[in-house]
Chains A and B, each alone.
Chain A
């Protein structure tokens, strides 16, 4: 069995103690996996991704320590020093829903940031590597533009290029097709598929476009009542005996096909 890249065990989270949105959640992503997280809006899917890399802290348990555990590459991120967590994060990529590109840097500089920070590579090599990702993500000719001068689709692709710059083993994609028109969504999914074919990177993706799991060959976890349902294929969900699961797939089809 392949290596576990990230794992959550008994995770509890709420923005206030009395408002728990994740309640004893378990999840495991192995090398080469494609996992899709679906579910209703505002129920903690993006928060779960942030928890998995330590950007949010789980609720405290009765003893005051964090409830549940989060492992990244086998290490409990709430047990190891902060510096170690940053070392582990070098091995992941994260595409935020709002892209979160550094606004006063060009696309090229944004993609070069992790390489400049984490490697001793000479600058021309860093720029060559960044330009390769610019070409791969169909951003040629836009490398010197600031994020504000790009369309949403281009910004998303630039964020994807930045996430891939360090050749990660695991990529977190937070609604990579949100806000994009049908054509740009298709381009985005096809690029994700290409990147996966190129590097066999594991993917954990939050999306309302559950049919994309079909396209990427992944399995879907639905987040319902603060817990993840077991992973299933899109076809299984369409024929699910649970009306709530069928409802989510129907919503997804309505979103896609109007």
Chain B
């Protein structure tokens, strides 16, 4: 029996729909819709308890990660500044130091490295926490009390992780730009004249601020927010999708971290396509 064109289209759309439903973006998208809808499906009274979990999550994501972010950002900022300060004079473009630092640190390194840290720390912890709750029947216990696990657990975790990620990325940017300068400046004193870093801080800051554009500020906030949202969603999704066996927990955690890394890099590519390509073509300033 052969299918008509109309029936063929229906079969194709159904197949694509089923494929989307089971795909990673489809599953994460479905959870995102549930998260967005959850504040409107239930009582206001829960805001108090959800607020507590949100603050805990923000504290865990952002405050506890401050030392590792500052150390990492300072080192990466220092290395990046040294590399650019060494390479740019060779191509006769020392004046662009501010621009390339803004471009490299603020647009790329800060959101990406912070996302990797958050995926490794918060994403893995969140997936393990929710996964353990799932395999030990705690999620079912919440359901049996009429409590929506998405509203009670996932919503505050996602909000906390997103806010924490934005704060950390800003901290990374500041630490990388300032701390990096200090590291590079110190090296310039140890090896005078060899690195081309005999620039003073006010001039350096002037170059940085001169290179900043409104779009950089938007990217500085938007990118980490989207990355944080994705990391938390993937962690919760993998935790909630576990069965009843404890051996599934490390598998869920591993999947959450790997998916977060890949998704963050993929989304970074999408951001580049949205924000950089229009600039190249002159559509966007």
Contact = CB atoms under 8 A, between A and B. Distances in A.
B144 A101 contact: no
A118 interface: yes
Residue of A55, A88, A117, A123 with highest tally of chain B CB at under 10 A: A117
Contacts of B143: 55, 86, 89
B146 A87 contact: yes
Interface string B23-52: 000000000000000000111111011000
A90 B145 CA distance: 6
A118 B43 contact: yes
A98 B49 contact: no
B9 interface: no
B141 to A, nearest CB: 4
A89 B144 contact: yes
A21 interface: no
Given A88-B146, A89-B146, A102 B45 contact: no
B141 A117 contact: no
A41 interface: no
A86 B147 contact: yes
A104 B49 CA distance: 14
A83 interface: yes
B285 interface: no
Interface in B203-260: none
B110 to A, nearest CB: 31
A100 B147 contact: no
Nearest to A110: B141
A204 to B, nearest CB: 13
Contacts of B48: 116, 123
Contact of A119 (B41, B45, B129): B45
Interface in B136-161: 136-138, 140-148, 152
Give the interface SS of chain B, mostly helix, strand, loop or mixed. helix
A117 B137 contact: no
B28 to A, nearest CB: 20
A162 B144 CA distance: 11
Contact of A102 (B41, B44, B138, B146): B138
Interface string A79-96: 000010011111010101
A248 interface: no
A160 B44 CA distance: 27
A88 B49 CA distance: 21
B141 A103 contact: no
A100 B145 contact: no
Nearest to B50: A117
Contacts of A87: 146
A114 B141 contact: no
B141 A86 contact: no
B50 to A, nearest CB: 9
B97 interface: no
B149 to A, nearest CB: 11
A114 B138 contact: no
Interface string A114-129: 1011111001000000
B132 interface: yes
B127 interface: no
B118 interface: no
A113 interface: yes
B133 interface: yes
Interface string A40-53: 00000000001001
Nearest to B48: A116
Contacts of A50: 140
19 contacts: A55-B140, A55-B143, A83-B42, A86-B143, A86-B146, A88-B146, A90-B146, A94-B141, A96-B137, A96-B141, A100-B141, A102-B133, A102-B142, A113-B49, A116-B46, A116-B48, A117-B145, A118-B43, A118-B146
Interface of B: 41-46, 48-49, 129, 132-133, 136-138, 140-148, 152
Given A89-B143, A100-B136, A101-B141, 6 more contacts: A98-B137, A102-B141, A103-B133, A113-B147, A116-B48, A118-B43
Interface of A: 50, 53, 55, 83, 86-90, 92, 94, 96, 98, 100-104, 113-114, 116-120, 123, 162, 166, 172
